[in-house]
Amino acid sequence: MKLVKSLMLGSAASLFTMAAAQAADLPVKAKAVEYVRICSLYGAGFWYIPGTDTCIKLGGFVRAETILNGGGSHRPAWSGDLAQGNRFADQLTARSRFVFNVDTRTATEYGVVRTFSQAYFDFNNFGTTNPSALGAAPASLGGFNTNLLMGAGGGYAYVDLIFIQFAGFTFGRSVSAFQTPWGGYPANNTAWLIGGQDSITGVNNIQYQAQFGSGVSATIGLEDPTQYDRTPLYNLALGIGASGLGTNAYEGWVWPDLNGNIRVDQAWGLFQLSGSLHHVGGTYNVLGAGGVPVSGATALTDSVLSGHPDSKLGGSVMAAFQIRNLPTGPGDDIKFDTTWAKGQTKQVISTSANSPSFAMLGGVPGQFGPSGSYGFGATSDGVYLPTAFGGDGAIHLTTAYGVRGGYNHNWDPHWSTGVYGGAGWLKYDGTAAAEFCAAFGVTHPGLGATYSCNPNFGAAMIGTVTRWTPVKNLTLSGEIQLFHLHQNFSGFSTFSPGAPQPVQNWTFHDQNALSLDIRVQRNF
């Protein structure tokens, strides 16, 4: 009996020891995996960043396009080699683009805190075949021509919109408070529709928006004018070149532009009034006023002794409207805006980049002016001629006014067409025009004899684009547009419009250019 009891106790102890050992070998229970959760607070595509209460959305697009007789993003052939039709010009241009954006939202007791950033990755061919462009690529102040990065395996990256929104404020690089929701795109693909303001790629600013309910809002902002809100201020004492362009003499940034709008945005459409105030100031009357600088000094030595013109206050106003839900079809709409500016020409002769000046030859591929003819338009915020050179020394602000608009029609869920147009006019006052023409006559012989001078001009664009969307977020489109330059010179002069054109008689005449864009874009 003792033997049986001992065997039973030993067996139980052995089993307990083995069970304990096996229990010690079991894995510890893992923590629950935190899966990505959908965030439905701010629309489709948002999800919570794991471990936070911040929602994030990743998006962008991939685009491939080819343009005949135009530049990137369907810029008309209104200047440069293409407008001359010389053998340096790329008659076809192509661009491949990848755009990536990150949008975050966090709900707080002060409202939603939002950040947004957008980056571009581009590869294109334009600018690489002209040896003069390559030779001049490093700018005098250390700039760099990004087209030099377009060799095989190259490309470049850059950013446009980068901002933070909080409690009604926007800080960073965003569209101007002056701009409409559609910017320069009432019904078009081209990023170069003139006639109104376009800051779609962002400008440094601080804005505050107040919402009053029923779609009524008001926005006011302080804006950096140096990149988007300036066209040249010409010191005519420094001369006017072959293409009617002078030397930009804008002073450094002194005051931010003050921009604002009042907007009504409802189911029927939208109405907006915008206004802007803009500081226009020059550098100096003469560069190097004291004569040849001493050894080691710069070419600007003693410029301060020549004085400078008094600054002027310019500005602009815009009215815009949109009509939605037209009886022609679901989603059809009309967009329209009109702008007047004084000393703030960028609000009218505007693009998604810098404001263009125009210089075009006739009788070349893609251009429809007479052979041997020339037309130009010099875009500026103002001009001045110092008293030491026979002028009144005052800045004369240029006046600009413009209009643009478009109609969008959806044929069915897969096909749509847009028809659009835009026009802008620039005028110099009597004194400014006379001083401009006197400077122009120095480099263009025959003033008052073989030709008459009037620097006022107008420019207009019309076009249409048809889009096919075979599947969601994939669109193939074709756009054709006509650009017209109306200049007010008459007669002829003997000069060269610039290399590689010869010195010969050129007749001043209006010019036209036709271009075509084929684009494929996939949004995600």
Name the band, by pLDDT with cuts 50, 70 and 90, for residue 2: very low
Query: Which of 257, 176, 230 lies closest to 345 in space, CA to CA?
Result: 230
Residues forming a β-bridge with 377: 358
For residue range 472-523, list pLDDT tens digits in order: 999 999 999 999 999 999 999 999 998 899 999 999 999 999 999 999 999 9
Give the pLDDT score at 286. 86
The mean pLDDT of the chain is 88
Q: State the chain's maximal CA–CA distance in angstroms.
A: 142
Name the band, by pLDDT with cuts 50, 70 and 90, for residue 14: very low
The larger pLDDT score, comparing residue 32 to residue 379, is at 379
How many folded domains does the chain comprise?
A: 1
Give the pLDDT score at 301. 64
Q: Which residue matches tokens 């960043």?
A: 49
Give the pLDDT score at 8. 41
Q: Whole-angstrom Cα distance, residue 89 to residue 79?
A: 11
Q: Is 152 within the bounds of a domain?
A: no
The larger pLDDT score, comparing residue 114 to residue 351, is at 114
In this predicted structure, the answer to whether residue 311 has a pLDDT above a threshold of 90 is yes
Helices (H), 128-263: 131-135, 225-228
Q: Is 79 within the bounds of a domain?
A: yes
* Percentage of the chain lying above the pLDDT 90 cut: 74
Q: Is 39 within the bounds of a domain?
A: no
Q: Which residue matches tokens 């084929």?
A: 518
Q: Is 352 within the bounds of a domain?
A: yes
Q: Whole-angstrom Cα distance, residue 332 to residue 324?
A: 6
In this predicted structure, the answer to whether residue 266 has a pLDDT above a threshold of 80 is yes
341: region left, alpha or beta (phi > 0 left; psi from -120 to 50 alpha): beta
Least confident of 248-262, 281-295, 298-312, 470-484: 281-295
End-to-end CA distance of the chain: give it in Å, rounded.
83
Name the band, by pLDDT with cuts 50, 70 and 90, for residue 31: low
Token digits of residue 297: 């000094």
Supply the pTM of this predicted model.
0.87
Name the band, by pLDDT with cuts 50, 70 and 90, for residue 34: low
Q: Is 130 within the bounds of a domain?
A: no
DSSP letters, 232-278, are -EEEGGG---TTS---B-BPPP-S-EEEEEEEEEETTEEEEEEEEEE
Q: Is 109 within the bounds of a domain?
A: no
Q: Is 456 within the bounds of a domain?
A: yes
Name the band, by pLDDT with cuts 50, 70 and 90, for residue 13: very low
3-state secondary structure of 52: coil
- Nearest-5° Cα angle at 255, 254 to 261: 155
User: In which element (H, E) is residue 25 found?
Assistant: helix 2-25
Q: Whole-angstrom Cα distance, residue 247 to residue 227?
A: 17
Give CA separation, 131 vs 84, 147, 148, in Å. Answer: 15, 12, 11
DSSP letters, 458-512, are EEEEEEEEEEEEEETTEEEEEEEEEEEEEE--EEEEEE-SSTTSPSEEEEE--EE
Give the pLDDT score at 127. 47
The larger pLDDT score, comparing residue 144 to residue 49, is at 49
Q: What is the CATH number of the domain that holds 194?
A: 2.40.160
**Most trustworthy range by pLDDT among 154-168, 345-359, 452-466:** 452-466
For residue range 416-425, list pLDDT tens digits in order: 999 999 999 9
DSSP letters, 385-420, are --GGGTS----EE-EEEEEEEEEEEESSSSEEEEEE
Name the band, by pLDDT with cuts 50, 70 and 90, for residue 29: low
Token digits of residue 223: 């804006």
Q: Is 117 within the bounds of a domain?
A: no
Domain span at 216: 58-95+163-279+313-523
